[in-house]
Amino acid sequence: MYLGLSGYNHESAAALVNNDAKLIDYCREESLSRIKGDKSFPKRSIRKIIENNKLNISEIKAVVFYERPLSSFLHPIKTATLYFPKSAPLISHQLRNFKKSSIGCFLDLASIFPGLEKKLIYLDHHLSHTLNALPYSNNQKNICSVVVDGFGDRSTSSISQVNNPYDIREIWTCKYPVSLGLLYSAITDFLGFQVNEGEYKVMGLAAFGNKKSQLAKKVSSLLNFDIVTKRFEQDMSFFSYHISPNDSFSEKLITLLGKPRNPFESLSTENKDFQKYADIAAGAQSLVINNLRMLFEYAYSLTNTTTFLFSGGVAMNSASLDSIASLPFVEKLIVPPSPGDAGSAIGAAYYGFLKNSVKTVKFLPKPDLFPSQYNYENQLKTAKKILDKDFKILTNNINEALKIAANLISKGEVIGTLIGNIEIGPRALGHRSLICDGKNAKAVNYLNSVIKNRSPFRPTAPCMNLETAKKYYDLRGELMESYKSMGATCSCKVGSGSSNFPTSHIDETARLQIIEDNSFLDKLFRELKEFDIEILANSSLNASGDPTCYDLIDVLMLSARHPLRYIITDFGLLESKFFGHI
């Protein structure tokens, strides 16, 4: 068994790969701690994985950390020294927080799971991203891996040639502090959203902006891929993330773009500054797309391969994938369902497997979309009184529950789902979802604004089977794998009417999910046929600011705090008695 870990910088997680290279368990720390984007040492995830799988420490052959901690610690300080004395606060902050950095992983393991620290090994951060993406490719030989994130342990983006799982050669890198990911985060901050959390809001907002506006052009010129030097060029004087522990952009950016958005101001189309901020977001989005296209063109020129792995935090920018996939040389673009740092724990676990196997493994098997083990039965006893007093079990027969749920959806109701294991990535794929009729604007609006309390400019994703998707959307063969995990957007088919669906964004795109055969959603769609419902709106089972629900008590709490009336579970359909009293 091989345990992969990520943490300390962004979302922390733990993953377990067995001796047959199969991902058998995975857990994000935020699921258990209930702290969104929890980056602390993943002690709860490790404990849960050990308990779920009844592991002895002796059975774990290697514990693999997703980066090289000293490198990750030294690079930002070394860069900051070039900007002294302006950078003194950052250097001082880094040094004072030495113990809280990822260097502490060894000591944390030793104190909480004694014995495991002796098995601790490390790999390069971008390699952990590559190995997270690799199992999703049908071809694992002679392909190219592009990794783009904020900062790993030595670079901010890289291109590698994957000759086979044992031979992965890095052929180009972009050095810190020049960073596509950190620039996008700085714009996220400028727009009043939380760094490392609000980037997807910028992506949603961008669709409302005009990328040809003056503001957008100013933003999109902040970083460029120079085709002569083959480097990203970024004027660092607009940014502060490399010299300050608190600020990500400088006064110069404020002079360029005007006043940053007050994070407490509501952001809706009626807002007087809405267009200004949407244009800035459009500029940032356009910058990302243009530079990624150039990076992929360069990657192609270096590797001459047509299958690309794409991972790192920037690969979560689902709106950029369609454009990259449209490049003439791209035949396959593989983005793992969890391309960020949480997912790189999976890559780390695969590394442990590969390092301990004789070099005969030619292929890493594709992981399941729902690997994070959860069994509700353990919690039924604890939750008995909550269920008895505050919830009504409408049926405890799952087939009947599906029929009733279908009927409720046809009447415009929103249903929460708590089915089996939790999703591998940040997107809800049916097991921890809020779902409703995807063509019913009132229901979608209720789900988005009332239950989730989300900003109205953010769209809700649609899900459907492949046949329906082909009818309404322009799908790309290069991205088929990503559609299964809601990882990429696609355009609405002209004349199909889909641009008017409430799940379509203002720019006539949708981040759709194509469901898998025999999945829970597939079974529900069979029941929905009777009501002519072919598209469901599907959003993660949480309220704004909270992590996605993990267990039974989380979902009961969500329903107690927000007007979510119905929940379908493995043990039947529940109705909340809180409904109408919130």
Strand partners, 334: 309
61, 355, 366, 471: residue in contact with other proteins (rule CB under 8 A): 355
Q: Residue 119, interface with other proteins (CB under 8 A)?
A: no
Map the footprint of other proteins across residues 252-281, applying CB under 8 A: 259-265
- Answer whether 378's CB lies under 8 Å from 372's CB: no
Q: Residue 166, interface with other proteins (CB under 8 A)?
A: yes
Identity of the residue, 272 or 381, whose beta carbon is nearer to other proteins in the bound complex: 381
Segment near other proteins (CB under 8 A); pick from 210-218, 308-316, 375-383, 397-405: 375-383
Place of tokens 């959806």: 409
Question: 175-204: b or e for each residue (b if 16 or more CB lie within 10 Å)?
Answer: ebbbbbbbbbbbbbbbbbbebbebbbbbbb
Map the footprint of other proteins across residues 449-468, applying CB under 8 A: none
- d(C-alpha 369, C-alpha 348), whole Å: 18
Q: How many residues bind to other proteins according to rule CB under 8 A?
A: 79
Identity of the residue, 262 or 500, whose beta carbon is nearer to other proteins in the bound complex: 262
Map the footprint of other proteins across residues 503-562, applying CB under 8 A: 545, 551, 553-554, 556-557, 560-561
User: CB under 8 Å to 507, separation ≥6 — which residues?
Assistant: 207
110, 294, 327, 383: residue in contact with other proteins (rule CB under 8 A): 383
- Nearest approach, Cβ of 533 to other proteins (angstroms)? 33
Identity of the residue, 163 or 326, whose beta carbon is nearer to other proteins in the bound complex: 163
CA dihedral 60→61→63→66, nearest 10 degrees, is -130
Six-digit token string for 526: 């069979």
Identity of the residue, 169 or 392, whose beta carbon is nearer to other proteins in the bound complex: 169
- d(C-alpha 414, C-alpha 543), whole Å: 14
Segment near other proteins (CB under 8 A); pick from 167-175, 205-213, 301-309, 327-335: 167-175
- d(C-alpha 81, C-alpha 334), whole Å: 38
Strand partners, 147: 158, 311
- d(C-alpha 491, C-alpha 474), whole Å: 5
Map the footprint of other proteins across residues 7-66, applying CB under 8 A: 33-40, 43-44, 64
- d(C-alpha 579, C-alpha 558), whole Å: 11
Q: Residue 329, interface with other proteins (CB under 8 A)?
A: no
- Answer whether 438's CB lies under 8 Å from 503's CB: yes
354, 428, 524, 541: residue in contact with other proteins (rule CB under 8 A): 354
Identity of the residue, 18 or 33, whose beta carbon is nearer to other proteins in the bound complex: 33
19, 20, 59, 70: residue in contact with other proteins (rule CB under 8 A): 70
- Nearest approach, Cβ of 516 to other proteins (angstroms)? 30
Segment near other proteins (CB under 8 A); pick from 205-213, 229-237, 384-392, 461-469: 384-392
Q: How far is CA 464 from the centre of its chain?
A: 21
User: Where does residue 101 rank: exposed (0-12), middle (13-18), buried (19+ CB within 10 A)?
Assistant: middle
- Nearest approach, Cβ of 68 to other proteins (angstroms)? 5
Segment near other proteins (CB under 8 A); pick from 165-173, 460-468, 486-494, 520-528: 165-173
Six-digit token string for 265: 């101001």
5, 80, 180, 278: residue in contact with other proteins (rule CB under 8 A): 80
142, 213, 323, 379: residue in contact with other proteins (rule CB under 8 A): 379
Q: Residue 169, interface with other proteins (CB under 8 A)?
A: yes
- Nearest approach, Cβ of 417 to other proteins (angstroms)? 20
Map the footprint of other proteins across residues 387-406, applying CB under 8 A: 389
Q: Which amino acid is at 17?
A: V
Identity of the residue, 485 or 548, whose beta carbon is nearer to other proteins in the bound complex: 548
Asked, as a colleague might, if the bond just before 85 is cis with ω within 30 of 0, I would say: yes
- Answer whether 24's CB lies under 8 Å from 16's CB: yes
Identity of the residue, 154 or 452, whose beta carbon is nearer to other proteins in the bound complex: 154
Identity of the residue, 88 or 466, whose beta carbon is nearer to other proteins in the bound complex: 88
Question: 400-419: b or e for each residue (b if 16 or more CB lie within 10 Å)?
Answer: ebbebbbebbbeebbbbbbb
- Nearest approach, Cβ of 531 to other proteins (angstroms)? 34
Among 269, 249, 244, which residue's Cα sits nearest to residue 259? Answer: 249
Q: Residue 74, interface with other proteins (CB under 8 A)?
A: yes
Phi, psi (5° rounding) for residue 395?
A: -160, 150
Map the footprint of other proteins across residues 123-142, applying CB under 8 A: 123-124, 126-127, 130
Map the footprint of other proteins across residues 94-113, applying CB under 8 A: 95-96, 103
- Answer whether 316's CB lies under 8 Å from 340's CB: yes
Six-digit token string for 149: 């994130």
